[in-house]
A and B are shown apart, each in its own frame.
Chain A
């Protein structure tokens, strides 16, 4: 089946085999110009078949499918594209993809660069590199589940909020009765962070201050049954108590028989807004604001009594959900960027750096003016690869964003999946796929062009 070439050359395969010392030089050269032979085509066939079946055919089928309705029965023209761009879900997804593309690749590359340069300086660089690269070894799904747990809203469960609470509560300790409210809201009004009476008292007067909305487990064990205040000379005496009878039935604003005093409440005597005296209630809830000059005072409950423990940050709430997921993405990919950039760094001729140092450049100048420009080709490759990767982001968003935040965290690939496989609208889903493809193509083309330029 293989016709003998006119020049009497052996067929391509044989040529390669005959490139031995006895073959005359120059005879193999013209054979490179020959049209691909049938055999060569046969060798290419498996690759072409796979490429065609797995890449080319799906692309063209998606394009074709995107012009048909959800079941594929009716041709609808550009209807799906119109629906796609008018839907608010897709618009949110496009906006989020934009945020991802702007921030994620650049931050990952920057961090990768810093790590790569640093890892050349530290003794335990291998350990460091392994630690940074480790997240790449975990599947994105497990990494996503891990970060979902880290971001858990409840500080008792989520690592991020547990840390935040530990720090915040150290500098701003929570009060003994967080969230408690006064029961006599006609007597005591909010003032600042705490509460203060609306009327004034003079020394010798007594006052009862009821509080409630205190969970039973937050009542200190030493608390005793509330005792009514005993008037004292030159002082305002009073009782702070839990004005809620367990099981119901008590009278609001009165110290009922089973109600307990609240120990450890900081009470203040106020003149204007100045604190003139302060006292802390005892186990029966009694306090005495003593050494008061003549005159009238308001009685206040300090805000520190009611300060809530830090409730945590809503990492996965609507405002922070996308940045939070981007952080987890950075955690996974920083290792990749570091390894590739470190390889590029190793290829930089040391003499150039030495020369710069000899010329008197400091380390920052060496980094800024020599290392980074020489690394630029590698940095661009990393950046573009990450851009392509980020455009397709899907798994982390699906796993980390709670259902309530999936609308705000939506990205194109997730919207595609939900539309095609959730709502089973393959027409609209295909349109989204084509749109995603169009977004990726410029980055791909850029990478290919660079590759060709390097070969040429």
Chain B
């Protein structure tokens, strides 16, 4: 017995030592596995490898992007996994980066997110990977969208032309109204559509970014591009009279609950996809959607309406004689993990070939200059893409997307959160401007 006890004692000691040793091993093992080898072309054989890509797209947009990824799979033999990141991609990627297990590639919906990630050193520079492809296909303007402090981190893959207003053609016909050219005509049309029996404005204010896009389009027209640029840099405060004026104009749309599909409370609980589909159901619950070209993708993917016959867009109306102006945004592919598969996917996304797949499916504008207009699947998308290309360098970039993440792109906070509050009380213009300024100060002060 004594012997067995002694044996057990040594066994126990050994086990503990082994355990501690394993624990240490585990600690050391994480950082290994350096990847070697230079950048290979997208024609590299990657069969057996898995590439993970995270994006905020859902529904039809996700399906279309997966078609693009399928093109990559066919070409390289790699297996691509699409990870759905939800609306708040920074919150999704943050823990994964901290945990050392980021997806290979992420599609960031805002340059602001790219900047804050690049600033913290979480992105892999891609000058050597795709610099030439970017110069060749996107040009200097496109390069700057993916650049932080003179280093290229992102490939601008998808552009958004956000100065479009979509409408249900059948409701317009039945109500006997024409697509408006000016803000006043829009108000009249909206009233007539309401008299006809349909709530005109369909707004997805659940998270608030459609509201911030509406504000930006109004501000661009009431204050002009110069003021717009200054506000984007926070060179003028959000309490500036120009902001208050734009908020007052915004009240024309948001101020009357009867003009909103589902009323104010309904709009607050409708997400963007819901705001599009409810305007094209039978019977339609709304008629006018203030959002970018990507609305077409949702119409095609999630409703039975046909873009071009049942659904169409008009340019965001001129306010008090303002000249035509285009506000754009986009999605940028970044490399989070320096892997062969990830690099190959980044290169692939910079090619016209990848963009043409989605262009053919609809709801997509490519910033890629080498994508011909006839690659677009339908006439409506071609028109939106043409307007975007014509605007060229005069187009302004989505203002909220340029802000620090916590101010410009966080659910329930900053611009998004304050605009959903504004929808609940559109008469509180001064208070809203003050809240925006307070939040901006905090975001700019802390970064």
Q: Which residues B61-84 have CB closer than 8 A to chain A?
A: none
- Determine the distance from Cα of A389 to Cα of B446 in the docked complex, in whole angstroms: 32
Chain A contacts for B269, CB-based, 8 A: 152-153, 314, 316-317, 402, 404
Name 8 A/B residue pairs within 8 A (Cβ), A-sorted.
A71-B119, A248-B177, A314-B265, A403-B271, A403-B411, A418-B413, A421-B91, A421-B94
Query: A43 is contacted by which of B5, B12, B262, B442 (Cβ under 8 Å)?
Result: B12
Q: How far is the CB of B188 from chain A (nearest CB, A)?
A: 12
Query: B12 is contacted by which of A39, A212, A418, A421 (Cβ under 8 Å)?
Result: A39
Q: Which residues A44-72 have CB closer than 8 A to chain B?
A: 45-46, 49, 69-71
Pair A418/B410 contact, Cβ less than 8 Å: yes
- Determine the distance from Cα of A83 to Cα of B443 in the docked complex, in whole angstroms: 11
Residues 303-335 of chain A: 1 if any B CB is under 8 Å from the residue's CB, otherwise 0?
000000001001011100000000000000000
Pair B5/A87 contact, Cβ less than 8 Å: no
Known: A13-B8, A216-B174, A247-B174. 15 other contacts (CB 8 A): A17-B1, A17-B5, A42-B12, A45-B20, A183-B195, A215-B198, A244-B197, A246-B196, A311-B263, A314-B269, A403-B207, A403-B411, A404-B269, A421-B98, A424-B90
Pair B410/A422 contact, Cβ less than 8 Å: yes
Interface size of B by CB at 8 A reads: 62
Binds B, one of A135-143, A230-238, A405-413: A405-413
Query: A422 is contacted by which of B8, B91, B174 (Cβ under 8 Å)?
Result: B91
Pair A406/B411 contact, Cβ less than 8 Å: yes
Q: With A405-B268, A422-B405 in contact, is A212–B195 under 8 Å at CB?
A: yes
B23 within 8 A of A: yes
Chain B residue with minimal CB distance to A421?
B94
Chain B contacts for A114, CB-based, 8 A: none
Chain A contacts for B176, CB-based, 8 A: 245-249
- Determine the distance from Cα of A212 to Cα of B262 in the docked complex, in whole angstroms: 18
Q: Could you say which of A215, A218, A402 has the most chain B C-beta atoms within 10 Å of its C-beta?
A: A402
Chain B residue with minimal CB distance to A315?
B269
Q: How far is the CB of B202 from chain A (nearest CB, A)?
A: 13
Pair B411/A14 contact, Cβ less than 8 Å: no
Chain B contacts for A425, CB-based, 8 A: 406, 446
B376 within 8 A of A: no
A454 within 8 A of B: no
Residues 1-17 of chain B: 1 if any A CB is under 8 Å from the residue's CB, otherwise 0?
11001001100110010
Chain A contacts for B413, CB-based, 8 A: 89, 407, 418, 422-423
Chain B contacts for A317, CB-based, 8 A: 265, 268-269
| Main SS class of interface, B | helix
Minimum-distance CB pairs A-B, first 9: A248-B176, A406-B412, A423-B406, A421-B94, A403-B207, A215-B197, A422-B91, A404-B420, A404-B268
- Determine the distance from Cα of A202 to Cα of B311 in the docked complex, in whole angstroms: 50
Chain A contacts for B9, CB-based, 8 A: 13, 39
B346 within 8 A of A: no
Residues of A near any B CB (own CB < 8 A): 13-14, 17, 39, 42-43, 45-46, 49, 69-71, 83, 87-89, 152-154, 179, 181, 183, 212-218, 244-249, 311, 314, 316-318, 401-407, 410, 417-425, 428
B416 within 8 A of A: yes
B175 within 8 A of A: yes
Pair A403/B208 contact, Cβ less than 8 Å: yes
Chain B residue with minimal CB distance to A2?
B9
Query: B417 is contacted by which of A42, A246, A407 (Cβ under 8 Å)?
Result: A407
Q: With A213-B195, A245-B176, A403-B412 in contact, is A418–B442 under 8 Å at CB?
A: no
Q: With A403-B420, A407-B421, A422-B94 in contact, is A43–B16 under 8 Å at CB?
A: yes
Chain A contacts for B95, CB-based, 8 A: 421
- Determine the distance from Cα of A71 to Cα of B116 in the docked complex, in whole angstroms: 11
Residues of B near any A CB (own CB < 8 A): 1-2, 5, 8-9, 12-13, 16, 19-20, 23, 87-88, 90-91, 94-95, 98, 116, 119-120, 173-177, 192, 194-198, 205-208, 258, 262-263, 265-266, 268-269, 271, 283, 404-406, 410-413, 416-417, 420-421, 423-424, 438, 442, 446-447
Chain B contacts for A423, CB-based, 8 A: 90, 404-406, 410, 413
Chain B contacts for A428, CB-based, 8 A: 446
- Determine the distance from Cα of A17 to Cα of B9 in the docked complex, in whole angstroms: 12
Chain B residue with minimal CB distance to A80?
B446
Q: Could you say which of B13, B271, B413, B421 has the most chain A C-beta atoms within 10 Å of its C-beta?
A: B413
Pair B12/A246 contact, Cβ less than 8 Å: no
- Determine the distance from Cα of A436 to Cα of B1 in the docked complex, in whole angstroms: 52
Q: With A49-B23, A71-B120, A425-B446 in contact, is A406–B417 under 8 Å at CB?
A: yes
Q: With A43-B16, A89-B413 in contact, is A14–B207 under 8 Å at CB?
A: no
Q: How far is the CB of A160 from chain B (nearest CB, A)?
A: 13
Chain B contacts for A419, CB-based, 8 A: 406
- Determine the distance from Cα of A410 to Cα of B421 in the docked complex, in whole angstroms: 14
Chain A contacts for B23, CB-based, 8 A: 49
- Determine the distance from Cα of A271 to Cα of B261 in the docked complex, in whole angstroms: 38
Chain B contacts for A311, CB-based, 8 A: 263
- Determine the distance from Cα of A248 to Cα of B423 in the docked complex, in whole angstroms: 31
Pair B447/A46 contact, Cβ less than 8 Å: no
- Determine the distance from Cα of A244 to Cα of B12 in the docked complex, in whole angstroms: 90
- Determine the distance from Cα of A410 to Cα of B411 in the docked complex, in whole angstroms: 11
Chain B residue with minimal CB distance to A245?
B176
Chain B contacts for A13, CB-based, 8 A: 5, 8-9
Pair A424/B174 contact, Cβ less than 8 Å: no
Q: How far is the CB of A16 from chain B (nearest CB, A)?
A: 9
Pair A154/B266 contact, Cβ less than 8 Å: yes
- Determine the distance from Cα of A40 to Cα of B438 in the docked complex, in whole angstroms: 58
Q: How far is the CB of A395 from chain B (nearest CB, A)?
A: 14
Q: How far is the CB of B17 from chain A (nearest CB, A)?
A: 9
Query: B446 is contacted by which of A83, A245, A403, A422 (Cβ under 8 Å)?
Result: A83
Pair B90/A422 contact, Cβ less than 8 Å: yes
Chain B residue with minimal CB distance to A420?
B94
Pair B20/A49 contact, Cβ less than 8 Å: yes
